[in-house]
Structure 1
Amino acid sequence: MILNRTPHPIRVYEWDRQDGNDDLGLGLKSVIDPEPEPARLATIELGTQADGIELVEFGHRVDLPRPQDGVRHVVSLVVALALAPRRSDLLVPYSEVRNSTGTVIGCRALAQPV
């Protein structure tokens, strides 16, 4: 089972789907609807430096269940990269599909960051 832990639907298209087309249905293989709670990284504010730059620690998971056999989670790339050393159940959209204005409307595959 694949659960979508991003805040928006994930459209997965055929590999030969060309960019630059606004038809969302062209070459569409599947849509993975989002779960109610997206996975986000928590932050810990460590203070402000003398030059006004905030020091922030990233990498703590939020709203992501513990790994379960047979369950994989689609998350943002930043979440996957932060947790990849500890989690093998995370997937990210790969090979983005873009419409005529360059906006990402989907992907051609899901990938597991390592």
Structure 2
Amino acid sequence: MIINLTGETVRLYGPEAPDVITDDALDLRCTVFAAEVPPAELHLEHLDFGERTYHGGRPVQTYLVRHTVRDLPARRGGAHLLVDPAVGMCVRGRSDLLIPYGPVHDSTGAIVGYRHLVSPC
């Protein structure tokens, strides 16, 4: 079982999907994972100002932050959790997490789905 905690519906077209789908992107050629509530979210807590640097002659302010993931359930036997890539990269060592990978676009360039689900571990 796969539980979608990305906050959005995720469509999986499979590894053979083209880069761009020119017909109806919401057709029956994909597996649809409806979003569950609440989604797992990445929260950034501002700790302090970092070093001020320059790029191209313009000032760039950096910040020190703490990353925290909210609403990510504990492991469940036989279940995989589909999460946003930022959440997956912040929670290391959990083989039950999956992130969408390999975007599939419509004719306007918008992402309508993905080819793969991968483990960020």
Q: 2:107 maps to which residue? A: 100
CA displacement 1:43-70 (0-9 Å, x = unmatched)? 2221235745432111x22011111111
- Consecutive unaligned residues of structure 2, counting only runs of 5 or more, are 53-60
Are positions 1:70 and 2:71 aligned together? no
Q: 1:54 aligns with which of 51, 59, 63?
A: 63
Residue 24 of structure 2 corresponds to residue 23 of structure 1: yes
Does the CA-based 8 Å contact 2:46-2:66 persist in structure 1?
yes
Change (3 A) 1:71 1:47: same
Q: Indicate the SS of the match to 1:80.
A: helix
User: 93-102 or 49-58, which moves further after superposition?
Assistant: 49-58
Deviation string 1:71-111 (CA, Å, 9 cap, x unpaired) is 111111111111123x1110011211111122111011211
Normalising by structure 1, we get a TM-score of 0.85
Contact 2:3 2:82 in 1 (8 A): yes
Answer with 1 or 2: which has the greater Rg. Answer: 2
> Measured at CA, do residues 69 and 48 of structure 1 come closer, stay the same or move farther in structure 2, by a change above 3 Å?
same
Instruction: Give the TM-score normalised by structure 2.
Output: 0.80
- Runs of 4 or more, structure 1, over 4 Å off, are 49-52
Q: Give the RMSD, CA atoms, in angstroms.
A: 1.9
| Residues 84 and 22 of structure 1, relative CA distance in 2, 3 Å threshold | farther
Give 1:23-42 correspondences, 5 Å limit: 23-26=24-27, 28-42=29-43
SS at structure 2 position matched to 1:28: coil
Q: Percent identity?
A: 34
In the alignment, structure 1 segments of 5+ residues that lack a partner are none
